[in-house]
Amino acid sequence: MDAIHLIDDSLATYSRDVLLNTPLFYYGLVKQIEIIGEAANMLTAEFRDTHDEVDWRPIINMRNVLVHDYIHISKDLLWVTLIQDIPELKKHIEKYYTEMP
């Protein structure tokens, strides 16, 4: 959730142009998506299987691309992830937090 909140704050404060064309902001966002992917990867298979409303594999795969194949990052795909995928994931993560004992 911390990574999602940092992304939310950035999107609320700066324009697409600033976020994607200012290296510090850009790589900061990339890092937050990496963190989300790493967290998804660290979930147990049982958790991922019982919470299949989230397609965990693309989240993990994106993390792998960002870490290992960063030369080929598409800014357009990154933007779609930030404005479409992250808010959708946030809804699920918030729900999971409410279900925790």
Lookup result for tokens 């993560």: 93
Listed by start position, the domains of the chain span 2-96
CA distance 59 to 64: 9
Question: Can you give the pLDDT at residue 80?
Answer: 95
- The pTM of the whole model exceeds 0.85: yes
pLDDT band at 94 (very low <50, low <70, confident <90, very high): very high
pLDDT band at 101 (very low <50, low <70, confident <90, very high): confident
For the segment 29-87, what is each residue's pLDDT rounded down to a tens digit?
Answer: 999 999 999 999 999 999 999 999 999 999 999 999 999 988 888 999 999 999 999 99
For the segment 14-26, what is each residue's pLDDT rounded down to a tens digit?
Answer: 999 999 999 999 9
* Token representation of residue 9: 């704050």
Mutual angle of helices 86-99 and 23-42, in 10-degree steps: 40
